[in-house]
Structure 1
Amino acid sequence: MSFSSATFFPDALLHAIIDARVERPSLALNAAQHRKRRDKLTLDGRLNIIAADHPARFVSNVGTNLLGMADRRDYLARILRVLVSDGVDGVMASMDILEDLLLVDALRAEQDLTPLLENKVLIASLNRGGLAGAAWELDDPMTGPSPATCAQWNLDGAKTLLRVDINEPASLKTMMACAEAITACNALDLPMFLEPLPVAKTDKGYPVTKTAEAVARLAGVSSALGDSSRNLWLKLPYTEDFATVARSTTLPIVLLGGESAGNPKPFLEQLRTAMDSGYNVRGAMVGRNVLFPGNGDPGIIARAASAIIHDKLDAQAAFDGFASPLEAPDTLYPGGTR
């Protein structure tokens, strides 16, 4: 089933967001501070979170389309399409995207429309300075909001990335920055989602070493960062023998998605296998594989992932569910005149 971002997220809504940024710059903060939050992070011990922090770290490609995530209206439309799907717990994004989403809710409220972010989990990416392809790529400290800012904005958690190449001294600086961020989150009782990735330099950059041994060893290091692991979750890549990875920690694990394959079925199969690999594997925090499923509707793909995570369906049953239409509004902003 195809999806039209221009219909779902009309020009009137895009123009209203831009006007609000010019004329009412505090509108997003006000919406955040008055947002109704759920009582606890997870309702059933599991999480299905959409990841939307890629453009902030110089990653805009979807497959061979180098600017696949560079159209902000299309990107926001896909994120919101997923958020209105059944079983999607929330979104992890950079602050600018979270602010755009909060502005959508505030503008919809002015038209007496149902809020979209109420009881959803909002997690801020603390972002990173090691831009993809940069000469300083592994000198990768936080460049986004602080944990204190996350608390001020009434958010539900924070996320950061830790890439480690043991032959790159800059990895130590990044690891120390992550430890400090974890400690700061603990002082505010704020959940932290840490994405530790073992990498090794090649002539094409720093690809992730996706072996159970490499990921398990780094998970052991990551579990010990900061002053306490009490609020720490790990976001980990899928590997063969994922049970070895799951056994490396008692921390809850969510699976990341990686590059969009255009065909969501392999990702769903990996998700099901990972969920069966350990009691502490508790869901997914995935971006491109859900947001850009070829010509399909991202909301339906998100619902299939939810069926695996929350309803414990197998991948084939979830995949078969793609045929049923998604119950969602045709447009987020009916009657707009801008």
Structure 2
Amino acid sequence: MTTDIAVERGGPDLTDEQWLRLLEVRATDPAAVGRAYAARRRPDRILSERGTLFLVAADHPARGALASGGDPMAMADRRSLLARLLVALENPDVDGVLGTPDVVEELLLLGALEGKVVIGSMNRGGLDGASWTMDDRFTGYDAESIAASKLEGGKMLLRIDDRDPSTAGTIEGCAAAVSQLAARGLVAMVEPLPYHRSEDGTLTLLKDAKSLARAVTVASGLGTTSAHTWLKMPSCEDPQTVFAATTLPCVVLGGVPGPDPAEDLASWGQALTQPTVRGLVVGRSLLYPPDGDVGAAVAAAASVLRTAAGSNPRR
């Protein structure tokens, strides 16, 4: 029965032993999670020896965003998601993961986060498709739990819609989180995304240079200090203008995968050559590639990052 499910799902899979052991621990030994946090070997630094950071993102399900490609339920299968994450994390160029507590803890129990950078996702309350989707309340990690769990930092989503009053509350919540993380010497990774809501309610991510640069400047000024703030931004047609709007370290987000993985890679490469850009944070584009080969998709992204790092004016 297990084999049949794996075939229908496609892609990498956990062994029965791994999966059943994880389920057993979840049901019978909740204290194992705390022990795993405490025992994890932390990385020596955030940036790799090349001065780059490559993280795999896995916080989409907590916001109810389960679709990838043409499959509306792709990320709903937890066994498949974890197997794909294990493949990605096995690549030595992948520095770590960005995830919500449930996913991070499952990866810890599977022994996949030794020496890896772990960024805890903090606000997932703006559920995908909900009428309140822009109200990105804090429902995951907070600064205190990130510090207690010995993670390297926290990530927060800051969607900006000038016509939605709930944006103000998200800005305030993100500012508080930036301050609280900084007070503990932890990375605050802010993802500022400008949106426009049309008359029919459709939300569109604005990727023009003016809108993105404005979002960068808003995010850069959050909190009582920007000393530990990183920005997570989408690639765009004018990355020079957008990434010149800050001195803060930036990472390029993968976003919703396009129909052509090669185009996604080329777009990331343009942004990665900017002096303030330090790396990639990619989720669905790498975990659910059209051909199902997660290892090859991760390797291709790592190659783009290596090439861009070699041509970056910082080097």
Scaled by the length of structure 2, the TM-score of the pair is 0.91
Report the secondary structure of 2:190's partner residue: strand
Taking only the aligned residue pairs, the percentage that are identical comes to 38
Amino acid at match of 1:208: L
Query: Aligned runs of 1:85-124 on 2, under 5 Å?
Result: 85-105=91-111, 116-124=112-120
Aligned counterpart in structure 1 of residue 137 of structure 2, from 141, 159, 183? 141
Query: Aligned runs of 1:183-262 on 2, under 5 Å?
Result: 183-202=179-198, 203=200, 205-262=202-259
Cα distance in 1 for residues equivalent to 2:124 and 2:204: 17
1:175 Cα offset (Å): 0.4
Amino acid at match of 2:136: D
Residue in 1 that maps onto 2:47: 42
**Deviation per residue, 1:67-94 (Å, 9 max, x gap):** 0110000001111100001301111011
Residue in 1 that maps onto 2:58: 52
1:63 Cα offset (Å): 2.1
Residue in 1 that maps onto 2:18: 13
Larger deviation, residues 168-177 vs 32-41: 32-41
Residue in 2 that maps onto 1:180: 176
Residue in 2 that maps onto 1:75: 81
Matched, 1:30 2:30: no
Amino acid at match of 2:25: A
Contact map agreement 2:10 2:292 (CA 8 A) in 1:
no
Contact map agreement 1:94 1:127 (CA 8 A) in 2:
no
1:216 Cα offset (Å): 0.4
Cα distance in 1 for residues equivalent to 2:298 and 2:12: 19
**Deviation per residue, 1:135-176 (Å, 9 max, x gap):** 222222111111110111111111010001011111000100
Contact map agreement 1:133 1:205 (CA 8 A) in 2:
no
Contact map agreement 1:52 1:91 (CA 8 A) in 2:
yes
1:184 Cα offset (Å): 0.6
Cα distance in 1 for residues equivalent to 2:90 and 2:75: 20
Report the secondary structure of 2:226's partner residue: coil
Residue in 1 that maps onto 2:3: none
Residue in 2 that maps onto 1:66: 72
Contact map agreement 2:52 2:309 (CA 8 A) in 1:
no
Contact map agreement 2:123 2:136 (CA 8 A) in 1:
no
Closer/same/farther in 2, CA of residues 11 and 243 from structure 1, 3 Å limit: same
Cα distance in 2 for residues equivalent to 1:131 and 1:8: 28
Cα distance in 1 for residues equivalent to 2:258 and 2:73: 16
CA root-mean-square deviation? 1.9
Closer/same/farther in 2, CA of residues 269 and 6 from structure 1, 3 Å limit: closer
Cα distance in 1 for residues equivalent to 2:132 and 2:179: 25
Scaled by the length of structure 1, the TM-score of the pair is 0.85
How many residues are treated as equivalent by the alignment? Answer: 302
Report the secondary structure of 1:158's partner residue: strand
Report the secondary structure of 1:40's partner residue: coil
**Uncovered stretches (5+) of structure 2, i.e. residues with no partner:** 1-6, 311-315
1:11 Cα offset (Å): 2.4
Report the secondary structure of 1:199's partner residue: strand
**Uncovered stretches (5+) of structure 1, i.e. residues with no partner:** 106-115, 315-338
